[in-house]
Every structure is written in structure tokens, then in C-alpha cells.
Structure 1
Amino acid sequence: MSDIGKKLKDARNEKHYTLDDLQQITKIQKRYLIAIEENDFDALPGNFYVRAFIRQYADTVGVKSDDILSELDEITGEKQATNQVAEPEVTSRTQAIRQQGGDVEKNNEILEKIMHYLPTIIIVAVVAVILGSIYFVSSGNRKQAEQASSTPSVSVTTDESTSEKKSSSQKVKKASSSEEASTKGATNQKITHESTSGSNFTYALTGASKDVKLKFSSNGSSWSSVSVNGTATWQGTLEDGASKTVTIPEGTKSFMINLGNSKATTLTINGKKFNFLKDNSSLTVRRITVNIAE
């Protein structure tokens, strides 16, 4: 019989994670992690959470979650087969109750599938809206161009032409000044390593703009989180090729980044790559504190 809990526990020990470390990374309560390692799946709050917690546990310790879930399905099927052989013939009412339970499990599986594909559905919907907007704007521009071509030409006096040229020149100068200021701000940004304690790293961020934007990109499955003033602003698992942008609120003096798989994570701050791996590239899990200096 497959021992899912032992496989996951062995993988956790190979990563040198304690249960407290895993609880911090996955945000799954420690008692549920212990139940998974002991194969006590009945202690979890439902079939949906059993699959979700096992998937997140496996991804975090580097085990293929699809293989683990397949083993879970086999175990579940063996238990059902044993119960059917051991139990006597039941009344129609009992059968109806079991059928209802099966319907609930199917509903949970359907819900899990919907949650799995929900990001893709949202992206498709957003792309469709963008394409629709582009089509309507293009159609409107064509109509305006047709109306303009059918309108008789109107002569313009020398004074009006000179005024328009001056206005256009002023707009170009303002746009140029704005671009120079933006480029200067990005050039002046600097990230300096201050200290290291185990897997905890502290950096100073200077010369950054008021709105600090963090972009996480994943080359494989990776879990990350961002906290401001002790409150989680975002946390989640990014699959291979996915990315996430998080904006730090204006006026923030310090923020914290937790990386569950730093080797598979690429991070930029305001479009500039943050090469945190140069400070002990062998670490997988790390906690990064960034202090924003004036």
C-alpha cells in the first residue's frame, strides 16, 4: 500500500524543512501537516482540502503533486472496494445517502477543476475585452477619417497656424522633460545588501520612485509572499512561466518577501532585476527584508 505521508515527510527532511518552516511557507496549519504525514486524511476539513493541501505540500517539497494525487485516488478506491465487500446489502435509504455523498465528492472535484482553470478563464476574458475595445476604437477612427475626407478643406490664418505650432512645441518639451525624469529615477535606484542571518537577508533600497512595483516570475513551481508592516499583501504559488506584479503602498518604509523556491524565482523592483541569488545561491527558502531609504 502506498504511503503518501512518508514520501512527503522524507522529501521535507531532504529539504531540511521543519514543520514550522512548512507552515510558514504554505500557510497550512501545523496540525493538518502532521495529519498528512500520518496519512490521517479524515482529520482534514474535507476532500477538497485534502487534495488542495497535499498538492501544495508536494509542490513545496519538490514532489510531483499529480503523482501523489494519483496515489491518493488509488487509496480512496481501495477503501471503497473494501467497504463494499465487507458491508452487507443495505436498504434503499442507505444507498440514497451514499449516492448523495458521492454527488458531494463529485461536486468538490468539479469545484477543484474550476478553481484550477479559473486563472486561464479570467485571462481569456480579459484578452477578449481588450480585443473588443481595440476593434471598436479602430472602427470609430475609420469613421472619423471618412468624415474628415468628405469635409471641404478650410484655410487657416497665419496667426492660428503659428499658435498651434507653439502649443505643439510646448507639449513636446513637457513630454521630453517627463521622460527624462522617469529615466533618471530608474537609473538612480540601487539595492544594497546590508546583513545576513541564516536564511534571513536585509537590503536597502535607495533612489526608488514613490510607487514601488515588485514583479515575480517563475521558472518552475514556486511559492512567494509579500508582507507590509506584518500584514500579508499577497501570497500564492506561480506555475512555470507565470508572473505576478505587486505594488507596495506609497509611504512604506520596509517590506518583507518570503520565497519558497528562490532558485526558480526571478524578481524585479521597478523593472530592475534584483539578483538576490548572489548572496548564498545554495539556499532554496529565504526571507528578504527591504528597507526603503529616502
Structure 2
Amino acid sequence: MDEVGKRLRSARIEKGYTLDDLQQITKIQKRYLLALEQGKFDELPGDFYVRGFIKQYATTVGLDGEEIVNDYEAQTPATRPRDYEQGVSKTRTAGHRNNSVGKWLRDNLGKVIIGLVALVIIASLYFYVSRLANQPKTQIPDQSSKVVSSKKSSASSSSQKSSSSSSSAQSSSKKDGLSVKQAGDANTFTVKNLPSGSNKLVVTATKRAWVMVTVTGGTGSTWQAVLTEGQSHDIVIPNGVTTIAVRMGNAAETTLKINDKSVPIPADATSVQNYTLNFESNN
């Protein structure tokens, strides 16, 4: 396993790169780069990212990325991934629970049937009594009811006019609402009409994915993490933001939203992708 790390380190030194230089170029954390060189692949987020990081590292220092990945795979024992083993364990546990539930049902089937019949009878009585209680009572119409009805009709008409006016105003405001569109290439987007006040970028993983977000402008910030399946994270978009750079380790299984507006990431996006969001000033 150390042979792959030695080749990567030798190529980096030959290129004259430091680990800090390589971190700046590849956007891979320095501790992961060091783990690759030392052959400590178990310190990386997962086997999927090991291959991606090895290929990107090798390509950056002038090596054949595919060849280095093949060397790594040839030297890696053909063991099942940790996620697979956990899945098998969960399946076995679920199977055991299902067997216990089935046995309980067999032993108590008579009681369950009696309980269901009793429940149906109670529900029928309840609905019958409710229906009797809700039957309309006969009322003698008088002149005052007509006056009230007239007033209600007038109030309803005014309410409809107000609602129509409000809908027109909302429709007009939506024309100038938040817009996120591709600009130039598939990985660059232009954000227009960002509302004033509180805004956020929502990152959601449909499967396990590593993500890094760098905010430029305003207070500026950087965040990165490995999101598990179904996990989301909110990044506050500060006032004065100009650019947000997003690097994804599993782009096909990751989505982005600005407030409730989806960023149209291409459906055929490959695993590792860099996206840029350019924000236009509202002034």
C-alpha cells in the first residue's frame, strides 16, 4: 500500500509542490493528502473518495491517474466495504425482529380479531351519533337575516377585490424574484435579485457525499463535511456576498438550493465537480 503513496510523494517533490500548494490546487485537505502519501487510506472519508483523491492527486503531479488507481486497487485486499457489512448486520437484525412479530401475531391472532371487531362497532356508533347531532334544524327566516346576508355579500365582494389586488401585487413581485441560471458553462451560475435580509444555501445529500463551500464577500467563510444519506446543511449567505464556490465529491447525489430556489445542477454530473455561484448586486 505504501508504494502508491511513495510514487505520489516523489512526483510531487519532483514537480516542486509543497502539500500546501497541492491543497490550494486540488482543494483536498492537507491531512488527506498526507494520508495518501503515507498509505493511511483508512483515514479518508471512504473507499469512493480514496480513488477520487488518488486520481486527482496523480493527475495534478503529472502521473497517469487511472494507472495509479489501478495500482491501488491491485494492492488493496478484496474485502467488503464497511457500509456493506453494516447493511448486512441491519438486515439480519430486521429479519430477527420480523420473526418475533410474526410469532406474536400467530399466538394472539384471536385477540387481535376480537379487538378489531370491537373497534369497528365503536367507530360505527360514534359516526351514527355524530350524524344525528349534526342534522340541520329548521329555522324561520326573518327580515334581519336578509340584511345580514346582504352585508356578508358586500363584505365578500370587497374581500375578493382586495384578494385580487394582492394577487396582482404578488404576481408583479414574482417577476423580479430570485433567479438562478446557468451562465456560460454548465458549472457556473448567475444569481439575481437575492432578497435583502436572511438568506441561506442549503446542501442536501441523497447518498453519502463530501462537500466543501467557500463564501467570498461579506463576512466570508469556508465549510466542509461528509454528509450522510438524507442529511442537509444550511450555510448563511452574508450581505455583500459576491461568489460562492462549491466542490462536491459526489455531485450526482447532491443538491443545492438558495432559500427555496433550486440550483439547476446537470443531471449527468460526474462524481467530483466544482460549481461557482456569482451574485449580482440589486443596486
**TM-score, normalisation: structure 1:** 0.43
